Every structure is written in structure tokens, then in C-alpha cells.
Amino acid sequence: MRLKITLSYDGSAFYGFQHQKNENTAFKTVAGSLEQSLKHLNIHTQVVGSGRTDRGVHALAQVIHLDVPPLWQTQLEKLQYLLNRTLLPHIHIKHISPVTQDFHARFSAKKRLYRYVLYDGMCQPFYANYALHVKPLDVQKLHTLAQVFTGFHNFEFFKKQGGGTTKNERTLFRTGAYRYKNFIVLYFFGDAFLRSQIRMMSDFLLKVCYKERRLEDLVAQINREKRISTALLPPQGLYLSRIYY
């Protein structure tokens, strides 16, 4: 029986979502922690996520699928309770539902929403893992700049090398930024994203905001005329917010 599970996690506690070679307690991952908890329930299965979040990246509603023995069909609430008891405090199972065998957490997904939470006020140590501290920022300028990424593009120059052999073409339906209380939220809503694409785009946007790069440089890299900056914004403050099916 195949299950769809929606979960949230504190990425600062993990070495990313995907398994690492020779994974141990010092380099634990979200997927590894989930599979270890499942083994305690005598469920030996592989966890498949909607996407691989980097080390330090959080999730508000990551989606995974996995196959379990049929006996769990009538015990999904119990399964959720038992998993949450062993996964706390850094992972929380929000919902479990049965799905058809052709459901795939990654390939069935249609759209994804990511948010980068920034903070440009006085330094707050307690925000360190959950909001990226930046210099004072013109949010309206950031919002306007972010919209240059909307539409269908080949993002070959906005991905970290070694990210697999998937196609580089992606569609971003909506991008922008806004202030929320004491924070700045930069958002990207698209069909899918390449490895570290959001961190690279965000870093370039901030560079233009701070006049370290020109808008023309950003456009040239989007158009694949030249690769100007491949730096990544730190992962703190980046959230996988929602997956749409």
C-alpha cells in the first residue's frame, strides 16, 4: 500500500533531506531519520521526497511517498502518532493518506512554492537558523527585481554543478518579495527547481539590490549570455513551503 505523507522539519538539525554516504548521527538526514523510525515499526521501505532540500533548509510541507504493508491501512492515525513520537522534536508528520500505486511524490508534483525569510533589523541570535540576517534592504526594489525570473527560462546558469541530468528549462509562475512584520519574505512559485537554483537566484538578487552587480548582469545570466555569479545565499531562512499536485 502506498502512502502520501506531508511533513515539516527543522533543516538546521539535518545534513539535508537526501541520504548521505556513510550516514551517521553526525551527518543525519531527513530521509535517513524517517527510514530509521519506520524500521522501529518493522516497516522496511524507501522514502521518496518531492525534492531534495539542502543542508540547513527547512520545510513547512514537504511531501514524501512510501510503501507499507497492507495491515497499516486501517491504522494510519496510529502510524502517525508512533512516528511523531520518535521523530520529535525536529520532524513532524502533519498528514498521512493512502494513494494509488502510480502516485510519485516528485514526478506527480505540478508546482512548488519556496520562501526565503530575511531579516534586516538589529542582529538577533535566536533567528540565526530560521531567518537570514541581511543589510538594510529596499523591499520594493527586491520585489521588482525578482520578477525578471518569471516565465519560461533555461536556468542552466543558475544551478549548482553536479545536480543530475534533468532538463534545465523551468517555468516560474510568480516571484516577488514583501515585508511581514519584522521580516522580508522572498518567494518563488514554479513548476520545479534545479539544484540550489533558488539560493543562487536569491544571492544574485541581493547583489543587484546592494549595487554589487547590475540588472544588466542578471539579465545576461538569465539569457545564458555569460555566467557572472554562481555564489549561493546561505540556506538559513529558506523554506520549502508547499507542493501542489
- Residues with catalytic roles: 54
Rounded-to-integer distance, Cα 193 and Cα 227, Å: 18
* C-alpha–C-alpha distance, residues 156 and 204, integer Å: 15
Do 112 and 50 meet the contact criterion of CB atoms below 8 Å apart? yes
Question: What are the CA-CA distances from residue 135 to residues 118, 119, 148, 209, 229 (Å)?
Answer: 10, 8, 22, 10, 19
Residue type, 83: L
15: number of CA atoms within 13 Å, CB side? Answer: 13
DSSP state of 236: T
User: Does the annotation place 187 within a ligand binding site?
Assistant: no
The residue type of 117 is: V
* Three-state secondary-structure class, residue 217: helix
Closest CA to 10 of 90, 67, 70: 90
- The Cα 175–Cα 237 span in angstroms is 17
Burial bucket for residue 206 (CB in 10 Å: 0-12, 13-18, 19+): buried
Give the number of other Cβ atoms within 10 Å of residue 35's Cβ: 18
- Bind-site residues for substrate: 114
- Bind-site residues: 114
